[in-house]
Amino acid sequence: MNILNKNCDISIFGGHGDLSFRKLLPSLYYLFKDKYLGEKSRILIISRKDISSEDNIILIKNKLKEFVEKEYFTEECFNKFKEMLYVIKVDFSNTNSYLVLKNFYKNSKNEDRINYLSTSPEFFPSICKALSEYKLINDNSRVVLEKPIGRDLESSQDINKEVLKYFDEKQIFRIDHYLGKDTVQNILALRFSNRFIMPLWDSSNIDHVQITVSESVGVEGRWGYYDQYGAMRDMIQNHLMQLLCLIAMEPPCSLEANNIRDEKVKVLRSLRTINARNISENTVRAQYKAGISEGKSVPGYLEGEGVSQSTTETFAAIKVDIDNWRWNGVPFYIRSGKRMQQRNSEIVVHFKEIPHSIFNDNDEHIAQNKLVITLQPKESIKLCLLGKVPGLVENMKLQEIDLELHSATNTNRKNEAYERLILDVINNDPTLFMRLDEVDEAWKWTDSIIQGWSDNLVPMKNYQAGTDGPTAAIQLIAKDGRSWHE
């Protein structure tokens, strides 16, 4: 369902924030360049900054030059794109300042209005309330909420309850940009369009699953935000949970948004609770110390900011059990950390060993087959199989052979996840967005771990920046006789 050239007003609240500069505006620029935005669309940068239109254009031009791939930024395209850009000063804590926005909309012919809330979640309710008070919400309005929504189930429910006073559930797009990544969507295609995968996808054939999202960067000037959230709330509650759901869900009866969301929510409800009884054997939390990252010395999490104390984790590893028929006895090991050795996000499905080997000449035991779905740094999907070493040399010596799935692409540029998702909001397609009950269930599960950590039931470990995380994470999986895929 791609309705091209739809004219709409897209207001970015927090328009001068990091996410807007790095991802939202570059994605809108790409969409404009590729003719997905209607010519009469308008992009409203809503910010607390006092800045003239001219200076705003210069600022955005510089940011686009920094964050758009070099060969795609052209003066000619920017000169057309800038015609869509407007800057409006709104102070979120002062309702009167929304009057400017009201005046701006007065003569608007665009019925479709997208309010992208790229602010701290505590502002979501007041922004929605002000939009309603100024009668800036119509039937074609949508609101996009950036993750994480709240810091726990309670605050998330409070925020969602407020937003729902002004927007219907179908107008709310809760974004998790991992769902906009092509390879993540490819999980659905791979699982549900290939016959041979279907009978293999359960506990009789799969030994365990690993999900890793590691980043080499630190908190990149976002300490104020990050220290309130940590790896659990920033990454696990949303990105890693969504990946886990796509791997573990039952086949939906169609691609329709609610059918997919129904299946994801069932997975979240089947997650075995981790609480005081089992938290110490199933979770690891850690913070990075100074080290060498990508050839440079980098300070530790605390040193960088000159603070002496913080119990925020920059790394988390968890053994997750899914209590349902399909996944009984198949652990999902998930981990995510900042300042790790390399940027690497992947899902590895480890199949069980063959029941009996006839290849006696192989000194080592036969490797397990693996399906490796890599999201970063380079998206790919490969199936690791075994085959014979070619030639006369050795009789039936086995070697690992990778079968790679290269997705055919009609463009040289890899789309940003946000391009896909913004386009879906424009086209009113909620399939890749989280429904309220998904967010609630994900919080319920993470809350009890966060509680156990704040009760100090699991010691905070350290790891050196630029490494693979704490040794406790290696032990977490090693005690089950397994190891992380490197």
Q: How far is the CB of 245 from ligand BG6 (least distance, A)?
A: 17
Beta-ladder partners of 460: 285
If 0-12 CB within 10 Å is exposed, 13-18 middle and 19+ buried, where does residue 377 land?
exposed
User: Of the candidates 9, 112, 207, 234, which one interacts with ligand BG6 according to CB under 6 A?
Assistant: 234
Of 179 and 425, the one with the shorter C-beta distance to ligand BG6 is: 179
Of 34 and 227, the one with the shorter C-beta distance to ligand BG6 is: 227
If 0-12 CB within 10 Å is exposed, 13-18 middle and 19+ buried, where does residue 48 land?
middle
Of 346 and 468, the one with the shorter C-beta distance to ligand BG6 is: 346
Of 227 and 262, the one with the shorter C-beta distance to ligand BG6 is: 227
**Options 16, 239, 350, 406, the catalytic residue:** 239
Q: How far is CA 79 from CA 57, 75, 82, 83, 110, in A?
A: 10, 6, 5, 7, 22
Q: Which residues contact 247 (CB under 8 A, 6 or more apart)?
A: 187, 191, 209, 211, 332, 347, 349
Residue 239 appears among annotated catalytic residues: yes
Q: Per-residue x/- mask for ligand BG6, residues 296 to 335, rule CB under 6 A? A: ----------------------------------------
Q: How far is the CB of 376 from ligand BG6 (least distance, A)?
A: 6
Q: How far is the CB of 212 from ligand BG6 (least distance, A)?
A: 11
Cβ-proximal residue to ligand BG6, closest one: 234
> How many residues contact ligand BG6, by CB under 6 A?
4
Angstrom distance (rounded) from CA 127 to CA 10: 15
Query: Do β-strands 370-376 and 380-388 pair in parallel, antiparallel, or remain unpaired?
Result: antiparallel
The residues in 437-456 that bind ligand BG6, with binding defined as CB under 6 A, are none
Q: How far is the CB of 432 from ligand BG6 (least distance, A)?
A: 14
User: Of the candidates 9, 215, 424, 438, which one interacts with ligand BG6 according to CB under 6 A?
Assistant: 215
Angstrom distance (rounded) from CA 385 to CA 405: 13
Is 202:474 a contact under the CB 8 Å cutoff?
no
Alpha-carbon dihedral sign for residues 476, 478, 482, 486 = positive
Of 215 and 419, the one with the shorter C-beta distance to ligand BG6 is: 215
If 0-12 CB within 10 Å is exposed, 13-18 middle and 19+ buried, where does residue 168 land?
exposed
Q: How far is the CB of 485 from ligand BG6 (least distance, A)?
A: 18
Q: How far is the CB of 345 from ligand BG6 (least distance, A)?
A: 6
CA distance between the termini of the chain: 39
Is 246:183 a contact under the CB 8 Å cutoff?
no
Of 234 and 447, the one with the shorter C-beta distance to ligand BG6 is: 234
Q: Per-residue x/- mask for ligand BG6, residues 330 to 369, rule CB under 6 A? A: ---------------x------------------------
- Tell me the two tokens of residue 402: 């990778």
Site residues, ligand BG6 (CB under 6 A): 215, 234, 345, 376
- Catalytic residue numbers read 239
